[in-house]
Amino acid sequence: MTLRYSPAVQNAIAVNGSWKDVMDNGSIEIYSGSQPATPDLAPTGNLLVTITASSGTKTNEVKGTGVLTISGTTSGTVDTCTLMGIDILGGAVAHTGDNNTMATAVALKINRAPANKLVVASTTGSSGVITLTALPGFGTTLNSGTLTFTGTTTTCAVTSTTFGSGTGGSVVGVAAANGLKMDYNAAAGVFTKDATQTWSGTAVGAGTQTAGWFRYKGSVVDAGSLDSSAVFLRIDGAIATAGGDLNMTSTAVANSAVQTVSAFQLTIPAA
C-alpha cells in the first residue's frame, strides 16, 4: 500500500511549510470501493463517515487576504511591504515601466523573500493589483495586522491598512474548528496524531457498507471535485484490516455507528 499525495501537498511541502502545516485542522473521509488513481480526482464510492475532532462539525478555515495596488507613474521603485511589522518584500524592486508587469515582479519578490512565512502573493498581471493570501493555519491570526506598502515615485497603496479587514476587496480570515491536529514533535521521522484529541465520526452510509479507502483533506473548504489547478491538500490511502494505509478492526461500517481512529502516524522516509 502507498499513500498518494496531491500536487498541492507536494508544492506546500516544497515551498510553504511542513507536513504538520499541511495536515493540521484537516479531516478524514472514509469511502466504499477503490480509491481514485490520483488525489486530484473526485472521490469514488459512497461517503461512509467523516472523521473530525470528537465527531464535531468541522468549520473550514478561510484564508485571510490583503490587497496592494501599483498605479500612476511608471518609474521609480517599490521599497517596502510589511505585514505585522515583518518585511515580506526583502528589498526594493525597480519599476519595469508598466504597472501590470511591475505588480507581477513585486508579487514574485514577495514569494521569494526568505522572511515571508505568512502569505502567498498573486496577481492577474493586468490590473496592477497584488493579492496577499495567508498560508493555511493562520485562521484569524493575521486579521487586523498592519499592512504597509511604500515606494519612491511609484504609487503604492493598500486598499485597507489592516490585513483581513473585509474591506477594499480583502477577505476576513476564519479559524478552523473541530479539525484534526498532528502532534508537535517527531521521532526518527515519525509524527503522530495529537494525543489530546479523539478522532471520530458517525457513519452516514445506508445500511452496512465496506470501507475501501480514505482521503485526508486540509483545513480549507474542499468540495471534492476535480482539482486541475493543484489547490487542495489531499492525501489518499487504502483501507484494510491489516497491511493497509489505514487499518480498521472491521471494514464493515454500519449506518449511525461511531468510528474512531485511535492511532495515526506518518513516516517521512529517510531516503
Place of cell 478561510: 62
| Contact between 163 and 170 (Cβ < 8 Å) | yes
Q: How far apart are CA 43 and CA 177, in angstroms?
A: 23
**Count of C-beta atoms within a 10 Å radius of residue 252:** 12
CATH class belonging to 65-158: alpha beta
Numbers of helices and strands, H then E, in the chain:
3, 19
Question: Considering the entire predicted model, what is its pTM?
Answer: 0.91
Classify residue 242 by its DSSP letter.
S
C-alpha cell at 190: 515519525
pLDDT tens string, the chain, 271 residues long: the values are 579 999 999 999 998 878 999 999 999 999 999 999 999 999 999 999 999 999 999 999 999 999 999 999 999 999 999 999 999 999 999 999 999 999 999 999 999 999 999 999 999 888 999 999 999 999 999 999 999 999 999 999 999 999 999 999 999 999 999 999 999 888 888 999 999 999 999 999 899 999 999 999 999 999 999 999 999 999 999 999 999 999 999 999 999 999 999 999 888 888 7
- Every domain of the chain and the residues it spans: 4-60+177-267, 65-158
